[in-house]
Amino acid sequence: MKIDWTRNETLVALVILGFCAAAAMSDPGFLSLATLTDLLRGGIVLGIFAVAALIVLISGGIDVSFTAVAAFTMYVTAMILNAALPWLPWWAALAFGMAVGAALGAFNGVLIAFFGLPTLIVTLGTMSIFRGTMLTFIGQKQITTLPPGMRDFGRMMLLRGENSDGSFYSLHGAFAVTVLVVVLTWAILHRTMLGRQIFAIGGSEESARRIGINVSRVQFFVYIYVGALAGLAGIIHASMARVANPFDLVGLELSVIAAVVLGGARLAGGHGTLTGTILGVALIVLVRNSLIVLGIPSTWQSVTIGCLILLGTGLPAWQAKRAAARAA
């Protein structure tokens, strides 16, 4: 296979490799199964969020409310299940969360698809609305006793093993959910006309309308799907953290979007790949979880993350600019 040096994916992969090399050099123990499982676990929730953000970006929109949807969903779900449906098994709890998330997504969808409001503004507003509603009317206290379904899910492992020093490494069951989400989304985007229509409206909404694509319906689907994914991520987050804290998650949205754009999706819409998204998430997770190994003092950690974001986006951007100058 020929390597395309101008693609974001390639450059981000390079940055990842370089980073791993540096980490391995500074601590040979870095290259271990335990590191891998820790990193994979770190990518579970972020990965689902990123897939959600990717779809919206492809459709030509931007969504900053998905973290609020996730927080709302996990909190309300934990509360309802505790109060009324404690017997629900884990998979039903996940489904319940997806339904709540989808309902919130539908709210975004109505405003965007049927009122025709700009996506950034709508989601900026609904972010405040979802969070404000939850904290004003539903509750602020974190829930440490999760419903049994979520508790079971929180302890579910795909893989478990013992390190040489007697400690355990394990891969959380939720990782399978993330993989499933990626595969399902790939199938939607690349194997259904619905997916192609998402790309089409991202490319040109007016053209899409003119050839008879029901733009509102496609957008509506996008925001419901994204809501469902966000809800799912929320439940997974709470289950894995064993606590539903209504103050969690919100604030993460820009980093997630950064990861997706890092992976080559364009803010203007119509472009983006799942491979790139996964690489972008991988880079962010890797950086966030390897600064101690690299021995970077706490005071310089945010500078390091900032530099890596700039490097990760700067290289492809600069490449693209040079390529454009060459072709023009």
Ligand X SMILES: Nc1ncnc2c1ncn2[C@@H]1O[C@H](COP(=O)(O)OP(=O)(O)OP(=O)(O)O)[C@@H](O)[C@H]1O
Residues 268-327, interacting with ligand X (CB under 6 A): 327
Site for other proteins in 56-85 (CB under 8 A): none
Which residue has 């003092």 as its token pair? 297
> At its nearest, how many Å lie between other proteins and the CB of residue 7?
13
Asked if residue 64 lies in contact with residue 131, where contact means CB atoms within 8 angstroms, the answer is: no
**Shortest approach of ligand X to residue 323 CB, angstroms?**
10
Mask: binding to other proteins, 123-152, rule CB under 8 A, as x and -? -xxxxxx-xxx-xx---xxx-xx-------
Q: Which of residues 141 and 322 has its CB atom nearest to ligand X in the complex?
A: 322
Residues in a beta bridge with 171: 159
Name which position in 1, 83, 324, 328 contacts ligand X (CB under 6 A). Answer: 328
Binding mask 252-291 for other proteins (x = CB under 8 A): --xx-xx--xx----x-xxx----------------xxxx
* Residue 219-258 contact track with other proteins, rule CB under 8 A, x = bound: ------------------x---xxx-xxxx-----xx-xx
Q: What are phi and psi of 58, to 5 degrees?
A: -60, -40
* Kind and range of the H or E run holding 21: helix 8-26
Separation CA 62–CA 170 (nearest Å): 35
Tell me whether residue 92 or residue 163 sits nearer to other proteins (CB atom): 163
The listed partner (other proteins, ligand X, none) that binds 212, CB under 5 to 8 Å by sort, is: other proteins
Q: Hey, what are 134's tokens? A: 């939850």
Per-position x/- string for 177-196, each x denoting binding to other proteins as judged by CB under 8 A, each - no binding = -------------xxxxxxx
Q: How far apart are CA 41 and CA 252, in angstroms?
A: 17
CB of 271 to ligand X, least distance (A): 21
Q: How far is the CB of 59 from ligand X (least distance, A)?
A: 24
Using the minimum distance from each CB to ligand X, give the nearer residue, 83 or 324: 324
Tokens standing for 281? 């998430």
Binding to other proteins (CB under 8 A): which residues in 293-322? 293, 297-310, 313-314, 317-318, 320-321
Which listed range, 12-20, 72-80, 87-95, 168-176, lies at the site for other proteins (CB under 8 A)? 168-176
Q: Interface with other proteins by CB under 8 A: which range of 80-88, 120-128, 173-181, 227-235? A: 120-128
Q: Which two tokens stand for residue 47?
A: 């990965």
Contact 9, 276 (CB under 8 A): yes
Partner from other proteins, ligand X, none contacting 129, C-beta within 5 to 8 A by type = other proteins
By CB under 8 A, name the one of 35, 59, 73, 185 that touches other proteins: 35
Q: CB pairs under 8 A, 24+ apart, for 301-308?
A: 308/15, 308/19, 308/283
**Nearest in space to 253 (alpha carbons), one of 48, 59, 63:** 63
Question: Least distance from C-beta 127 to other proteins, angstroms?
Answer: 7
> Which residue, 284, 290, 226, 227, is CA-closest to 256?
284
The distance from CA 9 to its chain's CA centroid, rounded to whole angstroms, is 17
Find which of other proteins, ligand X, none residue 184 binds, CB within 5 to 8 Å per kind. none
Q: Total residues at the site for ligand X (CB under 6 A)?
A: 2
Asked if 294 and 55 count as a contact pair (C-beta separation under 8 A), the reply is no
Q: SS3 for 172?
A: strand
- Least Å distance, CB 206 to ligand X, is 11
Q: Which CB, 72 or 90, lies closer to other proteins?
A: 72
Residues 232-270, buried b or exposed e (16+ Cβ, 10 A)?
bbbbbbbbbeebbbbebbbebbebbbbbbbbbbbeeebb
Torsion of CA 55, 220, 255, 13, to 10 degrees: 0
Residues of the shown chain interacting with ligand X in the complex, contacts defined by CB under 6 A: 327-328
